[in-house]
Amino acid sequence: MTAPLKLKRQSVKSKPGIDKEDLAKLKVASVLVDTPVSHLEGLYDYLIPSSLTSIATIGTKVIVEFGKKNTEGLIVGISDIDSSNREKKLIQSVSSPSGFISQQLIYHLEQVRNRFGGSFWNLLKQAVPARIIKEEKLFFKSVVDSPDLDLNNDFSRIFDHSEFSELRMDKRLRWAVNTPAGVDVYKFISELVKLRSKIGQVLLVVPDEKDILNFKEILAPVFGDQLVELGSHLAKNERYRNFLIVSSAEPAIILATRSGIFAPLSSTATVIVFSDLDNSHYELHSPGWNTRDVSLLRAQDVSLMFVSASHSLEIERLIDIGWLERKKFSSPSKRRFITNEDSSAYLSQIRIGASKGNVLVSVAEKGYGNLFLCSKCRNAANCECGGKLQIVGTGKVPRCYICYKAHNDWRCNFCGGNLPYVISKGIERLAEEIGRALPKIPLLVSSGTKQIRLMPKGNHIVLATAGSEPQDLYAAVILFDGERIVNRPFLRSEELARHTWFSNLNRSLDLAEVFISLPNKHPLTQSLLRSDSSYLVKQILKERKTAKLPPFFRMAVVTGIKKDISKFSENLKSATTYEVNGPIDIDSSNSKIIIRASLEESSKFVDMLDDVVRLQGLKGKSVFQIRLDPFDL
């Protein structure tokens, strides 16, 4: 049974004309109606006509009359008719297969709605693909024998006997797994998938389509038709077809991007979330949930594994309180580290690495000259609109990054100088410099929309921004732009720097050359030298708690019309204990505030924000946009 929906029950009066004898035989459906007006969201009672009795079951989408329009609804309960509900409207038709939305999914979505607020129907549309009737007619339930799985012998040195036994036991696991260095991360996780598939279903949720392709190459030959993809990267018909398969046939492996976290699963299933800190795991549309928290809300049903080179602070907190068990898998390796005390040493490391294999150069930003100053007075180069000027390539004129105006005859506003001094080099500029210094070594660039998934044959230098690294193991790894990525004005800058660099360190071969563009005494450098991404994490968590930041406090960004935000901010500051920052101007019409609440106040906090939005809807006012626990502020 599902938990009661946290919604008000409403009444809908019927039109006359139903025969009294027929009326006594009808059932009453509690229908959650899809309405764009938030304050009207609730459960409404409708009569189920006798012609639909067999198919209008709990979990079925239906078409109902709401107000003067027809709209979609979801049946979440069915009861007998009595004297209090004989004056109800009839359900007009069904708009999905019978019982299409499982009670498990209804319960899960309600848990997510209670955590992130907003509309249940918005969540349902994100979790369940749009209906394609043609796919239902073609769909049939297929059963395929489970494949005979063997552990790759290459991984016997990584999994010790006790861990290997646990992975094959029918017990609920709560693991936070650190990926080992010098081992292909896709092959490593695939071995975890194979082991857990002997117990039950496995849902593997990954950041993006590139990861889907890399895992498919390994898992599809093993599982065949027992592997099914889910996610918005698929065509609409294929996405709906695969959701039907997942809902009906219980395939062994579900390989999914973000929205696949809602997939219906068997009670012995394992959910594996790969790199939960990646921003692709954060939903862009309201109410703005993330894969990590959504997976945690179904933890009572399944085993959970968070697998990453470096974990988010939310996962580290759960490890610290004992809710998750940390698993560090390591492989014996020796690497030669050089820090930025010798700033030019990376060129010799690249040369040595390229003589043995491929070289990875990790760069913070794409582009060419992303920020430059006047070489004479060091004044910043700005446009009339206030935006910074950038140089997008060799011989290119400076352009504003906001209005994109070209400054053909740029001169410094302060001293009149016309020679730029680039202080923020993009990947194109760095590629140009390395290419001049090492002209005989082939050089590749992987960034933005021009990403390289697999390295070509031969030894190459590849420059890549975070998330664009080609899948390979490298003879040298050069970690550039340390100060820039650690000190970005961004809530998660240190977490992301740690995650990016440890992910790239793990791509290095045994005896690889590693250059770190930070001083030897820097905490991140010390973490890398120790090959321990959790180094000093207890201190970081302590500092976060003192500063009232995640993962100890929940944060909401509330955006709206300036005068409404200002009034709301004043009311909050005077009537509640929440921490309020702002208002902060966004443009001439809109502003935002940032609200913090402790984890203990979480439920009350979400209800308060929902009530504000409902009240605005009732009064016909412009409704605030609210994002809870966003990736960035």
Rounded Cα distance, 305 and 587, in Å: 42
> Tokens at residue 209, please?
């389509």
Among 497, 527, 544, which residue terminates a domain? 544
**Residue 409: pLDDT band by 50, 70, 90 thresholds?**
confident
pLDDT in tens, 235-270: 999 999 999 999 888 899 999 999 999 999 988 999
Same domain, 231 and 296: yes
Per-residue model confidence (pLDDT) at position 88: 82
Residue 397 located in a structural domain: no
CB-based contact 501:533 (threshold 8 Å): no
**Residue 17: pLDDT band by 50, 70, 90 thresholds?**
very low
For residue 482, pLDDT over 90 is answered with no
Same domain, 93 and 111: yes
553-561: strand order across its sheet: 579-585, 590-598, 553-561, 625-628
Same domain, 323 and 457: no
Residue 406 located in a structural domain: no
Longest dimension (CA), the chain: 94
- In angstroms, the first-to-last Cα distance of the chain is 38
Same domain, 209 and 81: no
- The pairing of beta strand 590-598 with beta strand 579-585: antiparallel
Same domain, 348 and 435: yes
253-256: strand order across its sheet: 227-230, 253-256, 202-205, 270-274, 303-308, 174-178, 325-328
Higher confidence at residue 342 or residue 568? 568
CATH of the domain at 96: 3.40.1440.60
Q: What letter does residue 178 receive in the DSSP assignment?
A: E
**Residue 378: pLDDT band by 50, 70, 90 thresholds?**
low
Q: How many domains does the chain have?
A: 4
Per-residue model confidence (pLDDT) at position 5: 60
- The domain of 496 spans 336-367+426-544
For residue 8, pLDDT over 60 is answered with no
Closest by CA to 292, choosing from 521, 524, 492, is: 492
For residue 79, pLDDT over 50 is answered with yes
Same domain, 172 and 112: no
Residue 567 backbone phi and psi in degrees, to 5 = -65, -45
CB-based contact 274:304 (threshold 8 Å): no
For residue 275, pLDDT over 90 is answered with yes
Per-residue model confidence (pLDDT) at position 35: 83
Residue 378 located in a structural domain: no
Same domain, 578 and 516: no
Q: What letter does residue 126 receive in the DSSP assignment?
A: H
CATH of the domain at 299: 3.40.50.300
Question: Most confidently modeled of 11-15, 327-331, 428-432, 540-544?
Answer: 540-544
Rounded Cα distance, 558 and 568, in Å: 10
Contacts of 35 (CB under 8 A, 6+ apart): 41, 66, 71, 121
Residue 529 located in a structural domain: yes
- What's the mean pLDDT in 627-631? 92
Residue 393 located in a structural domain: no
Rounded Cα distance, 434 and 417, in Å: 28
Same domain, 504 and 566: no
Residue 504 located in a structural domain: yes
Q: Which long-range contacts (CB under 8 A, 24 or more apart) does 579-584 make?
A: 579/548, 579/553
Same domain, 362 and 457: yes
Same domain, 461 and 351: yes
Same domain, 341 and 220: no
Residue 1 located in a structural domain: no
Residue 219 located in a structural domain: yes
For residue 19, pLDDT over 60 is answered with no
Same domain, 357 and 506: yes
